[in-house]
Every structure is written in structure tokens, then in C-alpha cells.
A and B are shown apart, each in its own frame.
Chain A
Amino acid sequence: MSAIFEVERLKKSFGGLDVTKDVSLSMAKGDRIALIGPNGAGKTTFVNLVTGHLQPNSGRVLMDGEDISKFNPMRRVKAGLVRSFQVTRLFSEMTPEEHVALAILQREGKSGRLAGNFHAMPQVMREMGSILETLNLGTLATVPVGEIAYGQQRLLEIALAMALRPKVLLLDEPAAGVPHSDTFLIENALAQLPDDLAVLMIEHDMDLVFRFAKRVVVLAAGEIIFDGSPRAVTDDARVREAYLGSYAHASSAA
């Protein structure tokens, strides 16, 4: 099983504060990994380092064996590394239809075209229709995003990620802001992701983590302290200490 995505000895410090200390991680096709950790563990910094929004002090990021450490965020997306946002980032005046079509066109390198319209591109329309249907957004296809419910906006975030056909998908708290009763919608959506896609999900909702992930990685104070099966994670002494003793230990990394 070869790795599609590797992070090698990533380090980042702000001033004298080591926010990411020597983090290594490897993912294979089809992986479903949850990245968890107490507040201030450096999860968001890790995502920003991986997606190229922050420059690490040292370490490498590899995609399919290719070193993408020098790539800017855009090129990383083109290489197949796509992220979603913790707080929804969508175009409030545009419809789900336009969002997904734009993502498809962008993936195919057609988003710079000065003429034509996606309505007249049967292939794009078909793919867009099937993505929106899969996520139960079909009936909202032509409603401006600013007018649809937040939970459905979260689904659209996932739809956009699907439309970009990534090799590796980083989901930054996909269920954040969604009422607990509606989490199953997100969960169903995640279940629709292609089987060979490698997914790394950052999440606080442990129910969701346990149902979704085949592997759990725990980050605390900038270090990976656990990497193993969901079943083993709650029994791990260091994890218990990181969470339950977090007031004593993690405050220095907050």
C-alpha cells in the first residue's frame, strides 16, 4: 500500500513558540482519518502548513511521491490537495448550481473561458446534477446560497470538494455550526465520498469521529501523541492525559 500523501517532519514556530513540532503523517488511498486534539493543539496550523497558507520552518509535504512543499496553495489544489473551511466560505449571491459548475469548470481548466455557459455544457450539467442530488441539494439548485440554511451550506462545502475531484481531502470540522440533530446529514454526505479518496477530517464531535474514521490521529501541543484505531484511542494513557489534563498541560500551546 503506497502512500498518496505524506507529511515529513513538519516544524513551525511563531516567535519562540513551537506550534508544530516534528509532525509526520502518511495517508493511503481510501484512508478515512480523523485528526483530533484539544483546543490549541495546532490543528489549524497543521492544515495551513499542509495547504501552503503558512510556510513551515522545516519538513516536506509529498503528494503521490512528488514534493509539493514549494508549491503555492493554488498549485497544491491543482495537484489534488483540497480543503474545506471550518467556517463556511461560499459566494452568498450565487446558487449551488453555479458553485458546483464553477468548481467542475475550474477542475477542467475551463474557468477562464470568455464565452459559453455551463447550462449549455451537458457534461458539466450532468455531473453537477448528480453531485447535488447525491447531497440532497437538488431542490435548492437555483436558490442563492445566502438564502439557504447553514446545514445545507455545509453540505455545499462538501459538494464543492467533491466537484474538484481531489486525491486528498482535508475537512476542517465539517459539522461545525450544524445542530447536533442534523449531523447525520453531514455524515451521510461524507459516506458518499469516493472510496479511493484519502480523507483527513478534523472534528470535535466524537460520535462522528468514531463512525467516520478508520484511524485516529491525536495532536496535542503540536505533537502527534497517538496514531491508531478508534477503539484504542480512548484507552491510551497519553490521550487521556492530553484531554483530561489539558488545563495543566496544553495551556502553554494555546
Chain B
Amino acid sequence: MSATEISAPFEQAKPMRRPWQRDLAGVLIIGVAAVAGYFLFPDNLALLTRIIAIMLLVLSLDLVTGYCGVATLGHAALFGAGAYAAGIAAVTFGITEPLSMVAIGAIAGAVAGLVSGVVILRGHGLAQLVLSIAVIHLFHEAANKASTYTGGSDGLSGIAPDPVFGLFAFDLWGRTAYVFGIGLLILVFVLLRILVRSPFGTLCRGIRQDPIRVSAMGASVKASLIKMYVISGAVAGVGGALNAVSTQVVGLDSLSFTNSAEALVMLVLGGAGSLYGALVGTIVFMWFEHVVSAANPFHWLTIVGALLIAVVLFAPKGLYGTAVTLMKRFIGSRQ
């Protein structure tokens, strides 16, 4: 066997540089969509900013559920921790510089991720699910009772962030908040693209597919999952902090079971295990919610339920996953 033969198949590996181009394309798409959103829906910028915050939550959930295979119904705990931390930092401790608030949110989210990761990963299957539900209720009750800091069931209000970089004040129309949110989203997206391609990202995908094989390679499944939980917490915490900065209030609903369950619905709707899927699912779900609840709030839950059943039955890979499969089949049939 000659040396040229050995290296031949790996010449094809060269185009693997492409992921960088795909990331750039992804960033461009987000950018174009952001600009389009800004001009098409100038009256709905607050909604769009909320969508961005929830996108960060769903991306964060994707890391543990889509990439690592942990089923959780308590992921809003990480988002809420970030939101409350940023809010409390501003209201109680007077830290109103927006980037610092986001950093505090990320740290609080990471800590919440560590705590809930350690708790949730103790069990498997049903026990894991029960622990995740108990965790979100526990966080919810804790925030409810610590009303001195959190405002309890009235919510935490009076968050007044400074202008971004000392230049761009948060305006009534939510323009600054929107641009701030887009900036954070692009930053997180790029970092996560790097993460999911990294050796650690590959390891986590391996854990989802066969944890026993991973441990037979000498890697610690649990330590890796907890590490991913911490990263995931930081991402969700940024989302929570963005929500606190942009809406200037934090409510108990950010720490609710419903918020957790909806995030899971959005992820699965878009397609778990893909960052694009998380983004697509969030936009579709929240826009749909906006339209439907404006028309008839009574039916919203019924429709979400029906949507979920339909996705499980007809598009288990989610919208993005199904689209990719169809595209591949289309390209394949043309060749």
C-alpha cells in the first residue's frame, strides 16, 4: 500500500473548512433577518427582542437535550436565574451597566446550570424527568418567597439599565434593546457553532448516542454532562438577562414549568440537535403564539398541544430537520 493511497481519501477532507463558511452564512442570515425584522415590524420590536431572549433559552436547551440527550422539563430555571440575577443586580446593588448585567446573568445561569445539572443527572429516565420538574418548581417557589429581592408574585420592577457603551440609551420603541439583543445572539451563536464542532461537542454527541461506549473510551459521562449544563446555563442566563434588560421587569413566569415546557416544544418543533433548528422553532412558535393569542387566547394551549402531537407523529426531526432531509432527497434525486 503506497503512501499516496493512504492519503487519498483524506484529500476530500479539505472541503471540511466549509463549516466556517457555513457559520458566516448563518451569521449573515441572522443579520439579514434582523434587519428585515427591524424594518418590517417596527411596532413589534419588543416582541422580537423577547423572541431573541427565548431563542437563547432554546439554544441552551438544545445543548443538553439535542446534543447530550438529557430530557428536561426544568430548563427555565437557568433562564430565570439569569433574569433575576441581572434584575437584582440592577435594583438592589445598583449595577445598571447593561453588559455587566448580562455577564452577571450568565454567571448566575451557569451556577443554576451546575445546581440543576447535579440534581437532574442523579436520575435516569422517569426519575430524571421528575427531578427536572421538581427543580423548576423549587426555583419558582424560592423566587416567590424571597420577595425582598425578587418582588415575589408582583415581579421585580424598576430595572433601569444605563445606555449601552454609555452611548445608546434604551428607548421607548425598544430599538436599542433589539439591536443589543441581536448583537448578543450573534455572539452566542458563533461561540456555540465553535462549541458543537469542538472535541467536547463531538464527545457530547457521542454521549447521546451511546454513553456506555463513551465511558469505555475512558471519558466521564457525568462530568461531561455537568460541564455542558454549566455552559448551557451561561447561555440561558444571557437570555434571561437580555429579557430583564429589555423589558425592565422580571416576572415569576420566567421560572415557570410552562416556560420550560414551551422551550422544549420550540426546540422539538424546530429540530433538536441543531442550532438552526432551535432558532427556527423559536421564531415559528412565538410568532404563531403572538398571532393566535391575539385572535383567541382561549385556544392557545389546545393548539400548542395539537402542534406537539402533530410534530411527534409527522415531523419527528422538526421543521429544520425535515427540511434538510427533503433537500438532501431532492439533491440526491437530481444527481
Extra contacts besides A83-B216, A138-B8 (17): CB < 8 Å: A73-B216, A74-B218, A78-B218, A89-B210, A89-B213, A90-B213, A103-B217, A105-B202, A106-B217, A107-B218, A111-B202, A115-B195, A117-B197, A117-B198, A117-B199, A118-B199, A138-B9
The reply to whether A112 and B202 form a contact with Cβ atoms under 8 Å apart is no
Looking at chain B, what size class is its interface with the partner chain?
35 or more
A-contacting residues, B1-44, CB 8 Å: 1, 5-10, 12-13, 16-17, 19
The reply to whether B216 and A82 form a contact with Cβ atoms under 8 Å apart is yes
Can you name 9 A-B residue pairings with CB atoms under 8 Å? Answer: A77-B215, A77-B217, A105-B199, A111-B200, A111-B219, A118-B202, A133-B5, A133-B6, A138-B9
Closest chain B residue, CB of each to CB of A108:
B199
Binary per-residue interface labels of chain B (144-166) against chain A in the complex, 1 for a CB within 8 Å, 0 otherwise: 00000000000000000000000
Distance A103 CA – B215 CA, assembled complex (angstroms) = 11
- Assess A114 versus B198: contact at CB under 8 Å? Given A91-B213, A93-B205, A94-B205: yes
Instruction: Give the distance to chain A from B211, nearest Cβ to Cβ, in Å.
Output: 10
A contact residues vs B (CB 8 Å cutoff): 73-75, 77-78, 82-83, 85, 89-94, 97-98, 101-103, 105-107, 110-119, 125, 129-130, 133, 138-139, 141-142, 160, 164
**A residues near B137, Cβ cutoff 8 Å:** none
Closest chain B residue, CB of each to CB of A97:
B13
The reply to whether B200 and A91 form a contact with Cβ atoms under 8 Å apart is no
**B residues near A85, Cβ cutoff 8 Å:** 213, 216
Instruction: Give the distance to chain B from A37, nearest Cβ to Cβ, in Å.
Output: 23
**B residues near A103, Cβ cutoff 8 Å:** 217
Distance A98 CA – B202 CA, assembled complex (angstroms) = 8
- Assess A93 versus B209: contact at CB under 8 Å? Given A106-B218, A129-B6: yes
The reply to whether A113 and B209 form a contact with Cβ atoms under 8 Å apart is no
Distance A203 CA – B183 CA, assembled complex (angstroms) = 59
Q: Which of A89, A94, A115, A160 meets B198, CB within 8 Å? A: A115
B142 at the interface (CB under 8 A from A): no
Distance A101 CA – B9 CA, assembled complex (angstroms) = 16
The reply to whether A119 and B218 form a contact with Cβ atoms under 8 Å apart is no
- Assess A111 versus B216: contact at CB under 8 Å? Given A91-B209, A139-B9, A142-B12: no
The reply to whether B216 and A114 form a contact with Cβ atoms under 8 Å apart is no
Binary per-residue interface labels of chain B (172-199) against chain A in the complex, 1 for a CB within 8 Å, 0 otherwise: 0000000000000000000000110111
The reply to whether A160 and B13 form a contact with Cβ atoms under 8 Å apart is no
B contact residues vs A (CB 8 Å cutoff): 1, 5-10, 12-13, 16-17, 19, 194-195, 197-200, 202-203, 205-206, 209-210, 212-213, 215-220, 224, 227, 231
The reply to whether B198 and A113 form a contact with Cβ atoms under 8 Å apart is yes
**A residues near B198, Cβ cutoff 8 Å:** 113-117
Distance A198 CA – B299 CA, assembled complex (angstroms) = 67
The reply to whether A89 and B200 form a contact with Cβ atoms under 8 Å apart is no
The reply to whether A141 and B10 form a contact with Cβ atoms under 8 Å apart is yes
Instruction: Give the distance to chain A from B232, nearest Cβ to Cβ, in Å.
Output: 13
Q: Which of A74, A92, A111 meets B203, CB within 8 Å? A: A111
Instruction: Give the distance to chain A from B5, nearest Cβ to Cβ, in Å.
Output: 8
Closest chain A residue, CB of each to CB of B223:
A112
- Assess A89 versus B216: contact at CB under 8 Å? Given A129-B10, A138-B9: yes
Q: Which of B13, B19, B199 meets A116, CB within 8 Å? A: B199
Interface centre among A78, A92, A102, A118 (most CB of B within 10 A): A102
Q: Which 6 A-B residue pairings sit nearest by Cβ, starting from the closest?
A: A77-B218, A91-B209, A89-B213, A138-B9, A119-B16, A105-B199
Distance A75 CA – B9 CA, assembled complex (angstroms) = 35
The reply to whether B210 and A91 form a contact with Cβ atoms under 8 Å apart is yes
**A residues near B9, Cβ cutoff 8 Å:** 129, 138-139, 141
The reply to whether B195 and A77 form a contact with Cβ atoms under 8 Å apart is no
**A residues near B203, Cβ cutoff 8 Å:** 102, 105-106, 111-112
The reply to whether B195 and A114 form a contact with Cβ atoms under 8 Å apart is yes
The reply to whether B217 and A102 form a contact with Cβ atoms under 8 Å apart is yes
Instruction: Give the distance to chain A from B166, nearest Cβ to Cβ, in Å.
Output: 31
Closest chain B residue, CB of each to CB of A101:
B202
The reply to whether A89 and B10 form a contact with Cβ atoms under 8 Å apart is no
The reply to whether B206 and A102 form a contact with Cβ atoms under 8 Å apart is yes
**A residues near B210, Cβ cutoff 8 Å:** 89-91
**B residues near A106, Cβ cutoff 8 Å:** 203, 217-219
**A residues near B209, Cβ cutoff 8 Å:** 90-94
Instruction: Give the distance to chain A from B219, nearest Cβ to Cβ, in Å.
Output: 5
Distance A98 CA – B205 CA, assembled complex (angstroms) = 10
Distance A42 CA – B202 CA, assembled complex (angstroms) = 35
Distance A208 CA – B198 CA, assembled complex (angstroms) = 40
Instruction: Give the distance to chain B from A149, nearest Cβ to Cβ, in Å.
Output: 17
Instruction: Give the distance to chain A from B115, nearest Cβ to Cβ, in Å.
Output: 21
Instruction: Give the distance to chain A from B325, nearest Cβ to Cβ, in Å.
Output: 13
